[in-house]
Amino acid sequence: MIKLKHVTPGGTIGIIAPASPSDSNFINEKILAFEDLGFNIKKGKHIYKCNGYLAGNDSERAEDLTDMFLDPFVDAIVCFRGGYGSVRLMSRLNTKIITTHPKPFCGYSDITLLLNYISNKCGFTTFHSPMINSNFKDPLTKDSFINILTDSNKDFSYDLNKLGNINILNKKDFKGRLMGGNLSMICSAIGTPYDVNFKNSIILIEEINENPYVIDRLLSQMIYSNKFKGCNGIILGHFTDCTLPDYSKSFTLEDIITQKLLPLNIPIIKNFPCGHSYPNLTLPIGCNLYYDSKNSLLTISENIFI
């Protein structure tokens, strides 16, 4: 893997909107709050654009992404938000430019396919992390984001003993390359050139605003597509608002996990705090992690940075 440069205190963060648009006042408000973390910022040229449900047309959004990788004064790239639209950029990615100008690229949700494809195709770690419109007033969210981008990651660990409602299923040690993110986005890429390769991996899954039957369907699609074959471990993040007021004609999310994932006999870290709720911890996509079941530590087991 290509090693990245750390973001130094006061470094410059490039901000792009590769998916959905936002109101200009909201964009400015969130950027001001992000600057309070101690970073300088550079806005993408088209960040204020609105084209239907997209933040500018496909060429404009792809141009902003490419420009941020090319810019020598930009130390890392953080997406403003998700929503929908990143998938429309996949065929427009200039992977040669990205590979020769590697730098941290951050986001989650709709950004999932960009994170996985860039990491796999271009050969460096990307980051499943909060975005500019996220709540950085949450201390664990803020500290995780800043620490992983600005500090040495040697022996960097997530102590699951301190993360609250963590539950381990099929408990045993495991290791592998972390891949994945939003469940709907993962499934949308199956059978396409941007299908996520989970061989010898740890699969990260999170979701928002989907009824339990939809989670059932999506996990079934992954199982029938052999996505869990050769997978060494599973990390289940937040499943935000994936509940119902009445379960008289529905399974619960717990039921679905028990029915669909538990029989795979793959170790599972359940309720890891990442995704569409808080805390939203930053995780390295494409990087090797090791889970020590005895001490309940999830450790980054390779150096991401120079």
Q: Which residues are catalytic?
A: 109, 206, 276
Q: In this structure, is the dihedral angle defined by the CA atoms of residues 177, 229, 121 and 48, taken in order, positive or negative? A: negative
Question: What domains does the chain contain, in order, with CATH numbers?
Answer: 12-150 (3.40.50.10740), 157-300 (3.50.30.60)
Mean pLDDT on 250-260: 97
Query: CA nearest 205: which of 244, 231, 175, 243?
Result: 231
| Residue 173, pLDDT above cutoff 90 | yes
Q: Residue 153 pLDDT > 80, yes or no?
A: no
Between CA 126 and CA 120 the distance in angstroms is 9
Contacting residues for 39 by C-beta, under 8 A, at least 6 apart: 7, 10, 11, 12, 13
Give the per-residue pLDDT at 225.
Answer: 98
Average pLDDT for residues 244-268, to the nearest whole number?
97
Tokens of 183: 């469940």
- Which residues have C-beta within 8 Å of that of residue 145, sequence separation ≥ 6? 106, 129, 130, 136, 282
Name the residue among 227, 224, 167 with its Cα closest to residue 196. Answer: 227
Asked if 269 contacts 291 with a C-beta cutoff of 8 angstroms, the reply is yes
| The two structure tokens encoding residue 29 | 């408000």
Does the reported pTM lie above 0.85? yes
CA dist 215 and 233 (Å) reads 19
Tens digit of each residue's pLDDT (9 = 90 or more) over 86-115: 999 999 999 999 999 999 999 999 999 999
SS3 298: strand
8 A C-beta contact, residue 78 and residue 126:
no
Confidence class for position 154, pLDDT limits 50, 70, 90? low
Backbone angles phi, psi at 289, to 5 degrees: -120, 155
* Band of pLDDT at residue 152, cut at 50, 70 and 90: low
In the predicted model, is pLDDT for residue 234 greater than 70? yes
Average pLDDT over residues 138-164: 89
- Residue 234 backbone dihedrals phi, psi, to 5 degrees: -130, 135
- Lookup result for tokens 């200009």: 24
Three-state SS at 142: helix
Query: d(Cα 284, Cα 261) in Å, to the nearest integer?
Result: 23
Query: In this predicted model, what pLDDT tens digit does every residue of 180-204 receive, in sequence order?
Result: 999 999 999 999 999 999 999 999 9
Residues 6+ apart with CB under 8 A from 69: 77, 97, 98, 101, 103
Rounded Cα distance, 133 and 151, in Å: 23
CB 24 within 8 A of CB 48: yes
pLDDT at 177 over 60: yes
User: What is the 3-state secondary structure of 219-285?
Assistant: HHHHHHCCCCCCCCEEEEEEEECCCCCCCCCCCCHHHHHHHHCHHHCCCEEECCCCCCCCCCCCEEE
